[in-house]
């Protein structure tokens, strides 16, 4: 179901988790629709008024199954939960006086339990408890529509209500646990992004310092030449202009990333810290080292269209994309026998593609799979450059990672 993610966000890889979530959603939606159809069949078989049941089920199913991508902004989680739960309580109140609408089925209870899961897991903190009490109370009250009818079935009805109450408590407990896992994962993702921004800040320090030093040296040279060789100043001034332009460009890109984290993060960098960042010239060495004597066959195909003077930050991002993709092959596709890294350049865009032919067999131990945070860092880096990153299965078998990086060559 759309909001009820039953998989805890722990150390399972992002790819495996996404596939399992898709399967669970399909099974959950199918089960919920079948239970709703059962409610309708029960109402028809007992000669009950049908429209209250259809109204309640329609509101409940829409609240649970409405896709997030197409949900209007005004349809907030508290509203989605309160309306079906309120209608259920109203139907219970009316059913105590009017036998024509007195009906009970598993579909209504299942919808209310799903709404209870959404309330506890996704509602804002100040709304979570009221929505949970409202939804849980509505679920427990459903069997009570048949209570106090003067028959010997009252004990059975109370037992059913107690069972629903117990199930509501278990559902709320599971939802609370998953909410805590969501919070922990959010903290872990934020920490990963913070670390990536710190690495970007270190790259910025090294790169800008290099050009500023060049500007300083060339400025000193220009001052000396101004008195003795003024006709040779133009090339020196052109070099100063070019170095300043490159430094400002890298400053603009990296500061765009660091603004989200704030100045307190950049303050943690050591002034003299040096980070070695790979580029396209060291890519072949990375891929060769990945293959090795016992690893899969790994090759780099660099198209002749790829210039050798791409910006530093683009080369570093491409290197990191390949590095993370190769690491994921080791983690999740140990049966791969062939890995291909392809680089191409078209329309001022660097195309980086990493493909493998693995089927996900022979996985690494659970503790060594990682939590999928590498893709988070890569997405942060690639997006900051104005590019896009895609990771997903290939048409037949295997996996591929594709990064498109805006990359106008430098005019050195």
Mean pLDDT of 107-124: 92
Highest mean pLDDT among 66-75, 207-216, 221-230, 254-263: 66-75
Give the model's confidence band at 73: pLDDT under 50 very low, under 70 low, under 90 confident, else very high. confident
pTM: 0.53
pLDDT in the model for residue 269: 38
b/e burial code for range 29-43 (CB count within 10 A of at least 16 → b): eeebeebbeebbebb
Q: Is 336 helix (H, G, I), strand (E, B) or coil?
A: coil
Give the model's confidence band at 214: pLDDT under 50 very low, under 70 low, under 90 confident, else very high. low
pLDDT in the model for residue 272: 35
Residue 365: is its pLDDT beyond 70?
Answer: no
- Tokens found for residue 257: 């990333």
DSSP string spanning 79-93? HHHHHHHHHHHHHHH
Measure CA of the first residue to CA of the last residue in the chain; give whole Å: 55
Q: What is the CATH number of domain 280-406?
A: 3.30.565.10
- Tokens found for residue 80: 């989605």
Distance between CA atoms of residues 181 and 146, nearest Å: 39
Give the model's confidence band at 59: pLDDT under 50 very low, under 70 low, under 90 confident, else very high. very high
Residue 382: is its pLDDT beyond 80?
Answer: yes
**Residue count (the chain):** 412
Residue 268: is its pLDDT beyond 50?
Answer: no
**Inter-CA distances, 87 with 98, 114, 139, 311, 387, Å:** 16, 16, 12, 61, 48
Residue 277: is its pLDDT beyond 60?
Answer: no
Distance between CA atoms of residues 390 and 375, nearest Å: 10
- Report which secondary-structure segment, H or E, holds 368: none
Give the model's confidence band at 74: pLDDT under 50 very low, under 70 low, under 90 confident, else very high. confident
Mean pLDDT of 223-228: 78
The HSE-up count of residue 59 (CA atoms within 13 Å, CB side) is: 17
Task: Kindly report which listed range (22-26, 257-261, 396-400) carries the lowest average pLDDT score.
Answer: 257-261
- Tokens found for residue 154: 């009252």
Give the model's confidence band at 173: pLDDT under 50 very low, under 70 low, under 90 confident, else very high. very high
Residue 15: is its pLDDT beyond 70?
Answer: no
Distance between CA atoms of residues 211 and 89, nearest Å: 70
Give the model's confidence band at 7: pLDDT under 50 very low, under 70 low, under 90 confident, else very high. very low
User: Could you write out the three-class secondary structure of 131-198?
Assistant: HHHHHHHHHHHCHHHHCCCCCCCHHHHHHHHHHHHHHHHHHHHHHHHHHHHHHHHHHHHHHHHHHHHH
**Eight-state DSSP code of residue 365:** P
* Residue pair 217/240 in contact by the 8 Å Cβ criterion: no
Task: Kindly report which listed range (120-134, 177-191, 309-323, 366-380) carries the lowest average pLDDT score.
Answer: 366-380
């Amino acid at each position: 179901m759309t909001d009820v993610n039953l998989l805890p966000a722990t150390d399972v890889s992002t790819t495996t988790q996404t596939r399992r979530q898709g399967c669970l959603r399909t099974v959950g939606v199918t089960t919920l629709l079948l239970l709703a159809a059962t409610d309708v069949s029960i109402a028809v078989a007992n000669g009950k008024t049908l429209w209250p049941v259809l109204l309640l089920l329609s509101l409940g199913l829409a609240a649970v199954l409405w896709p997030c991508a197409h949900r209007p902004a005004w349809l907030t989680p508290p509203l989605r939960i309160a309306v079906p739960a309120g209608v259920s309580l109203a139907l219970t109140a009316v059913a105590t006086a009017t036998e024509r609408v007195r009906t009970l089925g598993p579909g209504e209870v299942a919808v209310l339990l799903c709404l209870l899961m959404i309330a506890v897991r996704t509602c804002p903190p100040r709304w979570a408890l009221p929505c949970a009490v409202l939804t849980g109370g509505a679920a427990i009250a459903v069997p009570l529509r048949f209570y106090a009818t003067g028959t010997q079935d009252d004990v059975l009805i109370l037992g059913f209500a107690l069972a629903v109450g117990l199930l509501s408590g278990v559902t709320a407990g599971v939802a609370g646990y998953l909410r805590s896992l969501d919070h922990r994962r959010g903290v872990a993702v934020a920490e990963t992004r913070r670390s990536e921004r710190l690495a970007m800040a270190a790259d910025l320090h090294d790169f800008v310092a290099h050009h500023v030093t060049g500007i300083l040296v060339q400025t000193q040279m220009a001052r000396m030449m101004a008195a003795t060789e003024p006709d040779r100043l133009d090339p020196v001034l052109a070099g100063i202009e070019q170095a300043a332009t490159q430094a400002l460009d890298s400053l603009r890109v990296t500061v765009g990333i660091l603004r989200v984290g704030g100045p307190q993060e950049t303050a943690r960098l050591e002034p003299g810290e040096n980070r070695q960042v790979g580029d396209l010239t060291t890519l072949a060495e990375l891929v060769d080292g990945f293959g090795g004597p016992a690893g899969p066959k790994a090759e780099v195909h660099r198209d002749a269209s790829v210039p050798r003077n791409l910006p530093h930050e683009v080369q570093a991002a491409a290197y990191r994309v390949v590095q993370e993709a190769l690491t994921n092959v080791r983690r999740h596709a140990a049966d791969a026998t062939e890995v291909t890294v392809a680089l191409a350049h078209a329309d001022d865009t660097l195309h980086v593609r990493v493909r493998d032919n693995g089927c996900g067999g022979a996985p690494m131990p659970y503790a060594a799979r990682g939590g999928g945070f590498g893709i988070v860092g890569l997405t942060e880096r690639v997006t900051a450059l104005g590019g896009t990153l895609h990771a997903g299965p290939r048409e037949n078998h295997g996996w591929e990672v594709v990064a498109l990086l805006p990359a106008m060559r430098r005019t050195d």
